[in-house]
A = this chain, B = another copy of it.
Amino acid sequence: MEKPSPPISDPLLDKPLAGWRLRLYTIIFEADTRAGRLFDQALIAVILLSIAVVMADSVQAVRLVYGHALTYAEWVFTLLFTVEYIARLLCVRRPLRYATSFFGIIDLLAVLPTYLALFVPELHALIDVRVLRLLRVFRVFKLAAYVAEYQFLVSALAASGRKILVFLSAVLMVVLVMGTMMYVVEGQTNGFTSIPTSVYWAISTVTTVGFGDITPKTDLGRLIASFMMLMGWGILAVPTGIVTAEMAAQRRTHSGQAPTTRTCHECLTEGHAADANFCFNCGARLPPYQQQAGKAS
């Protein structure tokens, strides 16, 4: 890879973060200082509370009694998230890049539905997208020892990904053929009303879920179903074998590195080493690392 030239284009954007913007940035986007960690912990607590409110609001009995309080709480949370969203936009060097990033879109989607529901009540249910913000939970865990485990899981799964994809495509073909067969054999009177429905049934059977909302009634159908269940049992072993073999291999080569939440001001990549000077993703110069003195190991 060629070392990218420092992205100096816009004098306004290129100005390094400083003063209150740098402090805000360090608090909101990173979690290695005391304030940054407190902010993230508070954020997670508020997200969890907000989800609890949405969940409680969906229960008929609760809504009848506490409906007004829940609506009030929802507005408080929405305003909090709005303020946070604006603060995030203010303190990054390239607001547009943040706004179009994965977390930027989720942050926007977390506040939009409440406002839109004023005009289009049907959109109210979309508030639940908010739960995706919880993905930030791992940010905080990053500081704890959990991150090594998390990285271990992710890398083992990523290494197995291609094998699992091949495996899934084979399973999908089996499920298609089997579903069609059951559609022909069982006919439309026993719940196998269409091929998509039969495929849905076949998936629920091969994966050993077995809802039982649709079940074969004819002897031939039950024979095919028995065969599918035994087959599903046998090949259930395949993804397990893939992941296990991968994990056993990872165990041997895995060297745990202590990661940080240091974030590039330019492209918002996380995980820069404490002594790094340039972003490993976009090559921009990193500001000095702000770390908590007595950091919990």
Q: Report whether B234 and A236 are in contact in the complex, using a CB–CB cutoff of 8 Å.
A: no
Q: In the bound complex, do residue A163 and residue B184 qualify as a contact, i.e. CB atoms below 8 Å apart?
A: no
A237 adjacent to B234 (CB under 8 Å): no
**A207-B230, A248-B248 are contacts. A166–B194 as well, Cβ < 8 Å?**
no
Q: Determine, out of A197-205, A260-268, A288-296, the stretch whose residues face the partner at the interface.
A: A197-205
Option from B184, B215, B243 in Cβ contact (under 8 Å) with A238: B243
Interface segment, A52-60, A94-102, A269-277? A52-60
Interface locus among A16-24, A65-73, A79-87, A218-226? A218-226
Residue of A156, A176, A226 with most partner-chain B CB within 10 A: A226
A147–chain B nearest beta-carbon distance, Å: 9
Q: Which of B134, B168, B239 contacts A236 (CB 8 A)?
A: B239
Give the residues in chain B near A51, CB-CB below 8 Å: 176
Contact assessment for B162 and A193 in the assembled complex, using a CB-CB cutoff below 8 Å: no
- The residue on B at minimum CB distance from A183 is B58
A211 within 8 A of B: yes
- Asked whether A76 is an interface residue with its Cβ less than 8 Å from the other chain, the reply is no
In Å, the complex CA distance between A245 and B253 comes to 13
Q: A162-B145, A200-B222, A207-B233 are in contact. Are A173 and B238 (CB under 8 A)?
A: no
The answer to whether B146 and A165 have CB atoms under 8 Å apart is yes
- Give complex CA distance A54, B162 in Å: 29
Give the interface residue-count category, chain A. 35 or more
The answer, yes or no, to whether A128 is at the interface (CB within 8 Å) is yes
Cβ distance A231 to chain B, nearest Cβ, rounded Å: 10
Complex CA–CA separation, A141 to B165 (angstroms): 11
- A203 CB, min distance to chain B CBs, angstroms: 5
The residues in A between 130 and 179 inclusive whose CB is less than 8 angstroms from any CB of B are 131-132, 134-135, 137, 141, 145-146, 149-150, 152-153, 156-157, 162-169, 171, 173, 176-177
Min CB gap A113→B, angstroms: 11
Q: Does A112 make an interface contact (CB < 8 A)?
A: no
How far is B166's CA from A284's CA once the two chains are assembled, in angstroms? 32
Q: Which residue of B lies closest to A146 (CB)?
A: B166
Subset of 23 A-B contacts with CB under 8 Å = A55-B194, A55-B195, A55-B199, A59-B193, A60-B194, A125-B184, A128-B177, A146-B162, A146-B166, A150-B166, A153-B167, A156-B241, A197-B222, A199-B226, A200-B222, A208-B209, A208-B210, A209-B232, A237-B244, A240-B241, A242-B247, A244-B245, A245-B248
- Give 9 A-B pairs besides A54-B180, A55-B196, A234-B239 with Cβ atoms closer than 8 angstroms: A54-B195, A126-B184, A141-B166, A149-B166, A207-B229, A207-B233, A241-B244, A241-B246, A244-B244
3 pairs of A and B residues whose beta carbons are closest in the complex = A209-B210, A212-B212, A241-B244
